[in-house]
A and B are shown apart, each in its own frame.
Chain A
Amino acid sequence: MLKVEEMAFSYRRNEYLLNKLNFDITPGGVYGLLGKNGSGKSTLLYLLTGLMFPHIGTITIDGVSAGKRLPQTLQNIYLLPEEFDLPAVSAERYVKNNASFYPLFNREQFDNFLQIFELPQVKDLSQYSMGQKKKFIVSFALATNTPLLFMDEPTNGMDIPSKSQFRKAIALGMSDERSIVISTHQVRDLESMIDRVLVLHDNTILLNESVLKIAEKMEFVHTTSKDDLQGCIYSTFTPQGFVGVRPNLDGIETSVDLEVLFNSIITNPEVVKSLFI
């Protein structure tokens, strides 16, 4: 569906923010795009949606360059940016104005998402608070049913109950024909819903693996005794005790701790990468 080949991008001459990226996004999965602040997550999303053009390489959606911004491509993608603005129109008018551009838009689903987020009815969308606006736009984005949905820091500005509503909405909005790419540095918000992890670090994708494969190859340790951390490629102390990760030699699968995984990758990239060869 979406193919990135040998893609490179830089803001400054000869200083690549993203270099030689190669990966595919195939239908049916929630992708977690993880990376430090300034690692290029938002830039990558803009490149994938054709809002910016790669300096080297190609990005194609169903074989068509994303940068062409053809209607056929645009109606198959939806980007929810970190910052956005809603027009001063009613919710009904907003749907009437925008839904017709997305052939798979489902009104029933949209109403259902609004209910999940417990959004009150207002005359004008500008009356919503920032968090409510985010919930509204998330509901619309999910109801478009575009095969590719990109979300940039979607849980920013959401309170604790809203985050669980968000997870519920994502689960309901997911289908086998659709991929959702969520860029975030708040890994805890997404832990239970990610199917595949993309880690962006040092100008490249360091890891692009499914959560199942990660659980198969890596063992996540939560312990109160430091002695249990033997063989860990990364470990740290938390108020609850010690957490660490090591190669999974026993074949017993543990639940993936995204924060530990991310830290292990950026501290020992070569060791982690070698586990997946």
Chain B
Amino acid sequence: MENQIFSFGRFTAYLKKYFSENRSIRLQLIILAGVFGALMSISGGSINFFNLSAAMFIFAIVLASSFSAFFNTKANKIKFMLTPVSQLEKFMAMVVHLYVVVPIMFAVVLFIAQYVAILVTALFTLSMPQFTMPYAGVEINKELLCPYLISYFSATAFYLMGAMIFTRHAFLKTTGLSMLLGFIISMLVAITGTLQLVNLAAMERLQQLPDTDFGVYQNVGYVISVIMIILFLFIGYMRMCEMETNETKK
């Protein structure tokens, strides 16, 4: 008997169905290539890391929220829930979309955009196009890459969880929730910090503290982020498994 939790054959069949019925991907690809092509043309054939990462980040969290469309009507919910694949496979398809397909899509988009920008520049300057190496105009900040990837994965996991919890207006509601959580966390940090200062009692003792190793704090931050990613995905998955049809009135 086939494994009821995960079967590679079943998962690939589901991925085929998932991406075949999700036609907006092709449209997204064209629009993004156009936008990046225009941006690169304006900025002399290159794109900086900030613009690139911000665009990818916003695109991915909006996409993650859009997965609530699987549940926003009774008909969609029934179709999704009764497809004969495991709940894990259904959830994994969304994760693959966010964590594998989107980065690949951006790589393809940037590849196309660079040559679009070269051709557009040549057209406007009435000169021969100066072709360069692929991705020559794409700036990658190696120092910021790791923190960016961590924040990309955790934010998309959070918005994916939000899409499983809020079946309507998922993006707005998840953003509201993240702001609320952010406020609570910053309050907690502020209170803890103040208490610590009170406990230390005197500024002299503060001055005696050994030099802080920020690398350790950074690593602790990464570990916490990875734990949060797993937690958000787990909550999203559990919520999807426990979803019922009657939650949608429409």
A residues lining the B interface (CB < 8 Å): 11, 43, 46, 49-53, 69-72, 74-75, 77-79, 81, 83-85, 87-89, 93, 96-98, 100-102
Knowing A81-B74, A85-B73 touch, does A75 contact B21 (C-beta < 8 A)?
A: no
21 cross-chain CB contacts under 8 A: A51-B81, A51-B82, A51-B244, A52-B244, A52-B245, A52-B246, A53-B244, A70-B86, A71-B7, A71-B85, A72-B1, A72-B4, A74-B85, A84-B75, A84-B78, A85-B75, A89-B20, A97-B17, A97-B20, A100-B13, A101-B83
Q: Is B23 an interface residue (CB 8 A)?
A: yes
Q: Give chain A residues whose Cβ lies under 8 Å from the Cβ of B7.
A: 71
Shortest C-beta distance, B11 to chain A (Å), equals 10
Q: Verify A81–B84 contact, CB threshold 8 A.
A: no
Question: Which of B13, B23, B75, B244 is in CB contact (< 8 Å) with A81?
Answer: B75
- 4 other A-B residue contacts (CB within 8 Å) besides A70-B4, A97-B16: A53-B244, A69-B87, A81-B78, A101-B10
Q: Does B169 contact A (CB under 8 A)?
A: no
How far does the alpha carbon of A83 sit from the alpha carbon of B73 in the complex, in Å?
10
Cα–Cα, bound, A81→B16 (Å): 24
Tell me if A98 and B17 are in contact (CB < 8 A).
yes
Which residues from chain A contact B75 at a C-beta distance below 8 Å? 81, 83-85
A102 contacts across to B, CB distance below 8 A: 84
Q: A51-B245, A101-B85 are in contact. Are A85 and B76 (CB under 8 A)?
A: yes
User: Does chain A have a CB within 8 A of B213?
Assistant: no
B2 contacts the other chain (CB 8 A): yes
User: How far, in Å, is B225 (CB) from chain A's closest CB?
Assistant: 32
Q: Which residues of B contact A46 (CB under 8 A)?
A: 244-246
Query: Is the pair B2, A71 in contact by a Cβ cutoff of 8 Å?
Result: yes
Chain B residues positioned under 8 Å from A97 (CB to CB):
16-17, 20-21
Closest CB in chain B relative to A125 CB, distance in Å: 10
Residue positions of B touching A, CB distance < 8 A: 1-2, 4, 7, 10, 13-14, 16-17, 20-21, 23, 73-79, 81-87, 241, 244-246
Known contacts A53-B244, A83-B74, A84-B75, A71 near B4 by CB under 8 Å: yes
A79-B82 in contact (CB<8A): yes
Residues of A contacting B13 in the complex (Cβ-Cβ under 8 angstroms): 100-101
- Picked from B84, B87, B241, the residue with its CB within 8 Å of the CB of A101 is B84
Q: Inside 8 A of A84's CB, which chain B residues have their CB?
A: 75, 78-79
* Closest 7 pairs (CB-CB, A-B): A74-B84, A75-B84, A97-B17, A51-B245, A101-B84, A87-B21, A52-B244
Chain B residues within an 8 Å CB radius of A98: 17, 83
Q: Are B17 and A71 in contact (CB under 8 A)?
A: no
How long is the Cα–Cα vector from A74 to B73 in the complex, in angstroms? 20
- Residue of A whose beta carbon sits closest to that of B17: A97
User: Shortest beta-carbon distance, A204 to chain B, in Å?
Assistant: 19
Q: A residues within 8 A CB of B85?
A: 71, 74, 101
Say how far A15's CB is from chain B's closest CB, in angstroms. 14
Contacts of B23 in A (CB 8 A): 88-89
Bound-complex Cα distance A47 to B104 (A): 40
- Bound form: Cα–Cα A264–B16 in Å: 51
Closest residue of B by beta carbon distance from A46: B245
Nearest residue, chain B, Cβ from A43: B246
